[in-house]
Amino acid sequence: MKNFRYQKASTVKEALAQLKAAGGAAKLMAGGTDLLGEMKDGIARPERVIHLRIPQLNHIQADSKGLRIGALTPLSQVAAHPQIKEGYTALAQAAEEMGSPQLRHIGTLGGNLCQRPRCWYYRGEFPCLKKGGESCYAVAGQNKYHAILGGGPCFMVHPSDTAPALIALGASVKIASPRGERVVPLEQFFISPRQDGSREHILQPDELLAEVQLPPPPEGSRSLYLKARERRCWDFALASVALVQTVKGGACQGARVVLGGVAPIPYRALKAEGVLKGKRIDEALATQAGQLAVFGARPLSQNSYKEELTRTLVRRAVLATT
């Protein structure tokens, strides 16, 4: 690991001042469960590490406008919070699906959204596109875990469990910078490799993620997060689905379907949402929604299994929220 200067920040103002002073040579650390692995592997080589120890960013507050969750809130608290379990079930389930109990105690919601790709070429000693190299090793290499939707030129998959759930629930994020604060729909927070292969989100080097904001859930809606993985202990998603659905008298009034683990950013399955709306939910419609969720998929040589996996998850989620 390269030597670095360790700094603590106990307020947002202090963190922003330290970021500015570092002029792009610093990395923010929340729980450190992702960043420290990158540093030990020599992928991240910051001059400075700014440890966010900011009590104001560790909160869960509910009121009539919805829910606000500080970026430094540990995922174990998100998973166990009674109002999240009740009103934002998909988020509680997604947080509970992240890693192991130890990782959930130290890993934060903000870090979960800002984590870097898990592609094994990126994490290994391969100078791939994402590291400024000239090619994507996954295209002709081991691509079992890579993207089937929206990939190219990089075929990484978005690794966060909470991001699909938050997007399905209509979340926004509050971003703090020396220029003030801005609130952005989470759906617009992530950047696909086609837009910019070097980063995964819109944060500038002098900005930090401060808070996640959720509107009240639609009346009568139910939400669910389903994750398929190879192992029962900690593991990233082979495919996942977050679904928020409002059903009245057996018919779907509206649904939001967001996929994880199959595309470089959380993937909104708009065709599946479209086919559900206004229709009576039954096995056949749920199957059709599953099929449309992967419409246009272009699997690589070793990951076509993700199509069927995703179809099945969507079908099950539709039926389970009816």
The residues that touch ligand SF4, with contacts defined as CB under 6 A, are 117, 119, 121-122, 128-130, 136-138, 146, 154-156
**Of ligand SF4, ligand FAD, none, which one sits near residue 154, judging by CB under 5 to 8 A according to partner kind?**
ligand SF4
**Of ligand SF4, ligand FAD, none, which one sits near residue 66, judging by CB under 5 to 8 A according to partner kind?**
none
**Of ligand SF4, ligand FAD, none, which one sits near residue 115, judging by CB under 5 to 8 A according to partner kind?**
ligand FAD
C-alpha distances in Å from residue 282, one per residue of 238, 275, 313, 319, 321: 26, 12, 15, 7, 11
Report the residue number, 33 or 303, with the smaller CB distance to ligand FAD.
Answer: 33
Q: Taking CB under 6 A as the rule, does residue 236 contact ligand FAD? A: yes
**Of ligand FAD, ligand SF4, none, which one sits near residue 208, judging by CB under 5 to 8 A according to partner kind?**
ligand FAD
Report the residue number, 32 or 150, with the smaller CB distance to ligand FAD.
Answer: 32
**Of ligand FAD, ligand SF4, none, which one sits near residue 156, judging by CB under 5 to 8 A according to partner kind?**
ligand SF4
Contacts of ligand FAD in 29-48 (CB under 6 A):
29-35, 37
Quote the least distance from Cβ 234 to ligand FAD, whole Å.
5
Q: Taking CB under 6 A as the rule, does residue 275 contact ligand FAD? A: no
Report the residue number, 163 or 318, with the smaller CB distance to ligand SF4.
Answer: 163
**Of ligand FAD, ligand SF4, none, which one sits near residue 35, judging by CB under 5 to 8 A according to partner kind?**
ligand FAD
Amino acid at 147: A
Quote the least distance from Cβ 317 to ligand FAD, whole Å.
18
Two tokens at 270? 């708009």
Two tokens at 183? 């609130």
CB–CB of 317/224 below 8 Å? yes
Quote the least distance from Cβ 113 to ligand FAD, whole Å.
8
d(CA 245, CA 237): 22
Q: Taking CB under 6 A as the rule, does residue 107 contact ligand FAD? A: yes
**Of ligand SF4, ligand FAD, none, which one sits near residue 174, judging by CB under 5 to 8 A according to partner kind?**
none
Residues that bind ligand FAD (CB under 6 A): 27-35, 37, 52, 71, 75, 98-99, 103, 107-108, 110-112, 114-116, 159-161, 203, 208-209, 234, 236
